[in-house]
Structure 1
Amino acid sequence: MKSPSSTKLPFSPVLPLIVGMLAISFAPILVRYSNAPVPVQGMYRMLFTFLLMLPFGAKQLPDMKAISRKDWLLLVAAGFFLALHFLLWMASLDYTSIASSTIILALEPVFVMVGAYMLFKDRPRKLAVVGMVVALVGAMSIGSGDITLSQQAFFGDALSFFGALAVAINMLIAKQILKRVSSFLYSFVVFGVTTVCFFIYNVATDVPMLGYAQREWLVFLLLAIVPTVFGHMIFNWLLKYVKPTTISMSVLAEPVGASILGMLLFSEMVTGFQLIGGAFVIAGLVLYMRAENQAPAEVQSEALSA
């Protein structure tokens, strides 16, 4: 994978970044609109995305043959943790507000930073550590606010928190494997593995996978097209031209956009605890990203999230 500085985009990245930010903001809204079980939503979101990529992925079959056994194991692990992420985060929306769920999920870059230090000895800058602490304080503020509302809301926050951990593990695996596998091929294989994981889960738990209303199939397709193809896949494509930290900063727009849409479409008003906690989370993540921008640029991976 080329360094972002090695290839120049022929036009400003602002427009595709805005498209990506708007697209990912619709993910929790579409999840909330569906009445289908979460693992069914997740399976068809990944399946439809995989099928949309299939005509292009078929051209890369020779490259798939060159993937080593070790890398195949890593790809399977990445797909498993991506499935776990979707399962936990999408389920959280049944228990807590869209604002709380998406803001807590925005802690993903912090978990990646901690994991990179523990596994790869990537020492973070002091400002990045400060940002991590501020963001965690904000997350706890959101959680404590929901405790005063109900134990159910706090349970939803916990699901989102562990969903962020799962996708962070997915990121750490991607950081290693994308040194040897193209970003498109990585997404193509991992989406396929994630689909299989959801299928096995649905069969094991006896979740019905057919017989849903036409409206549900439309939501499944929109989940694949809007937040996945026009959101995460645009971000993955932009990694060839801009720094990964720029993509991470763009992902922070999801809690803001999703919260606004949640207020407009579901009348979910943001509480004082959520406002304070959200401000801390965003401020902490901005400090973290600023610290990362000060560090020497290196190739990293920001593959699929919420």
Structure 2
Amino acid sequence: MTTSNPLPIFEGNHLRNDKMKAIVQTEYGSPDVLSLKEVDKPVVADNKVLVKIRASSVNAGDWHLMRGDPFFIRLIFGGFLKPKIQILGVDIAGQVEAIGKNVTEFQVGDEVFGDLSECGFGAFAEYVCVIASALALKPTNTSYEQAATVPTAALTALQGLRDCGEIQSGQQVLINGASGGVGSFAVQIAKAFGAEVTAVCSTNKMEMMKAISADHIIDYTQIDVTKNGQQYDLILDAAAYRSVFDYKAILKTGGTYILVGGSIGRLFQVMFFSSLISRIMHRKVKFVTAKPNQSDLAILRDLIEAEKIVPFIDRTYSLSDVPMAIRHLEERKVRGKVAINV
């Protein structure tokens, strides 16, 4: 499982500085299609930053891209029969090793973190070359592993609550799927905005919810949250496996339901029919598509340094064990995030 530094690659008696190790896939399928290989190390471009990756993390998008499922993912990201993206992973934390001549916001040696989802992916590797705007300075009070769990999940939670939900201090907010990556950040971010937060999770994850200071905790194995009589101003659903209409009774008139993750059926329901559903329910129904950006990464960094957000790591794996990490995530039993120590 965790954590050993990769061995240097030698050719004769000389270290090969033009190569690196990465987890590569050349076909769609189970985690078995992923393998640790030696590939070309990227060369820094004029407007980019070369980052030595110290840690990454695993997201649901990684297993969907790995399997090419649902099928429309292949149409969006290219690779109808074989994956166009051969090195997966979007979350990174590491050190700036080199900068292009047009880059002014970073210096060699800076500790950074970022989201590569709009920059070609490639986080499951020892190095990546990326545009500077995809990065921000890493929180000073976190490890590389903790910082690497933040970008995708916390950006999704922040933009879902702030931009889609227009969250306000004093509101009653429900987070369904509160113990997952997005959910655990959403609980803490909603608290930082001054909301009163109810977290929905399973029995064995209730202690985690206490640790991240949820105001109220509902064990969904014991209580049906849609029938508990409490109404909410805002619902963020990170585990959408039931119809949106089930939440009408507990969502205040004019309130907002935000879908983040769950079944493909629920995803399509909201993506294609959100406007119609909103009119029928007299409540806003929205779907989050997170937009990585440097300013929001800086906001998250400030919240972490102020100790209003604490990344929660379920397990840490080494780079060579990325297939095992994705398999663990697919089991849907993860608390918080799964980190990768590169």
Q: Which category of TM-score, normalised to the shorter sequence, fits these structures? A: under 0.3
Q: TM-score, normalised by structure 2?
A: 0.26
Q: Give the greater-gyration-radius structure (CA).
A: 2
Q: TM-score, normalised by structure 1?
A: 0.28
Work out which structure has the larger RCO, using CA pairs closer than 8 Å and 6 or more positions apart in sequence. 1
